[in-house]
């Protein structure tokens, strides 16, 4: 049996704070896949704990894109095991629920870009501004970061590069040595966005802003970007949280109508909802 690769733990300072990043580098340099995970599970079946392990998750993402380096970004903080992505969201509750998705903040893109730069990406010699393809994955509550990134891309679509750089300068708090043109190149390198069994105990699991969807549609007419929504009966069929499926359907409809390349897939259809099913989507998310 082949030994599972070990992701190296890095503690990196981004523009909006410090995050732990588990880094599995690929010598093939065919891109980078960035995963944002969900709340922590303490007492659970062994298989759930295995799938929650960052090395397992990094290996599963690597299997999906063998030539990619993989970054598993830890939450900015854990509040009683609730994942809180303060460094990426414009605002959130104490337990990490987003208080809306405000594209104007550009907080998620700036934080992610600065963390990946701290990992020496892109490492292209004299061509440092040429980013490899970037894929973003949100799992469970980690999808809130992906939603914020999509809102920010939609906001940037309405700006010229000059206006975007001026706005980024304000959003980066005037930090020195910030290569803002490179940050724009990074955003344009985002090729694929995947939401894996998104779910919250409140509304906001999916992006449902018509203006953001329209902006993404215009962006996709000039740039390569596709979105895929993956779910299980545990989230999309949850009778106690019917808004998850409602938001998913609205998100799909808005993105499709705007011309965004988007598709959805229900995994484990007909099976009894379970926590294990929720985590197993990390193994099953390929179309």
Residue 1 lies in a domain: no
Cα dist from 51 to 39, 56, 273, whole Å:
13, 6, 17
Which residues form the domain of 170? 8-284
Query: Hey, which residues does 9 pair with through a beta bridge?
Result: 22
Q: For 95-205, where are the alpha helices, taking DSSP H only?
A: 107-118, 143-157, 161-171, 180-188
**How do the pLDDT tens digits run along the chain, 287 residues long?**
457 788 999 999 999 999 999 999 998 778 999 999 999 998 889 999 999 999 999 999 999 999 999 999 999 999 999 999 999 999 999 999 999 999 998 999 999 999 999 997 765 544 445 799 999 999 999 999 999 999 999 999 988 888 888 887 777 766 656 788 888 999 999 999 999 999 998 999 999 999 999 999 999 998 999 999 999 999 999 999 999 999 999 999 999 999 999 999 999 999 999 999 999 999 999 75
**Cβ(137)–Cβ(81) under 8 Å?**
no
pTM as predicted:
0.94
Residue 104 lies in a domain: yes
The count of structural domains within the chain is: 1
Burial-class residue 195 by CB neighbours within 10 Å (0-12, 13-18, 19+): buried
Give the up-direction half-sphere exposure of residue 251: CA atoms within 13 A in the CB hemisphere. 24
Residue 3 lies in a domain: no
Residue 188 lies in a domain: yes
Give the up-direction half-sphere exposure of residue 112: CA atoms within 13 A in the CB hemisphere. 30
Residue 241 lies in a domain: yes
CATH number reported for the structural domain that contains residue 203 in this entry: 3.40.50.1820
Residue 158 lies in a domain: yes
Residue 2 lies in a domain: no
Residues 281, 198, 33, 80, CA torsion sign: negative
């Amino acid at each position: 049996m082949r030994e599972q690769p070990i992701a190296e733990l890095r503690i990196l300072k981004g523009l909006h704070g410090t995050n732990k990043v588990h880094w599995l580098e690929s010598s093939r340099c065919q891109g980078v896949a960035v995963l944002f995970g969900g709340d922590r599970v303490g007492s659970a079946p062994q298989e759930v704990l295995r799938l929650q392990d960052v090395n397992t998750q990094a290996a599963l993402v690597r299997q999906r894109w063998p030539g990619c380096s993989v970054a598993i970004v830890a939450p900015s903080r854990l509040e009683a095991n609730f994942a809180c992505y303060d460094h990426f969201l414009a605002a959130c509750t104490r337990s990490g629920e987003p208080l809306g998705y405000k594209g104007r903040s550009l907080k998620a893109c700036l934080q992610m870009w600065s963390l990946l730069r701290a990992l020496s990406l892109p490492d292209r010699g004299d061509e440092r501004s040429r980013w490899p393809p970037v894929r973003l994955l949100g799992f469970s509550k980690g999808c809130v970061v992906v939603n914020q990134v999509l809102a920010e891309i939609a906001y940037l679509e309405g700006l010229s590069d000059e206006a975007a750089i001026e706005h980024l300068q304000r959003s980066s708090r005037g930090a020195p040595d910030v290569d803002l043109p490179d940050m724009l190149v990074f955003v344009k390198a985002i090729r694929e966005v995947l939401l894996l069994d998104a779910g919250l105990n409140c509304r906001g699991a999916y992006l449902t802003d018509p203006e953001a969807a329209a902006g993404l549609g215009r962006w996709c007419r000039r740039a390569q970007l596709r979105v895929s929504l993956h779910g299980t009966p545990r989230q999309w069929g949850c009778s106690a949280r019917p808004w998850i499926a409602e938001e998913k359907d609205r998100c799909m409809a808005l993105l499709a109508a705007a011309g965004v390349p988007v598709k959805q897939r229900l995994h484990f259809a007909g099976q009894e909802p379970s926590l294990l099913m929720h985590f197993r989507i990390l193994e099953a998310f390929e179309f």
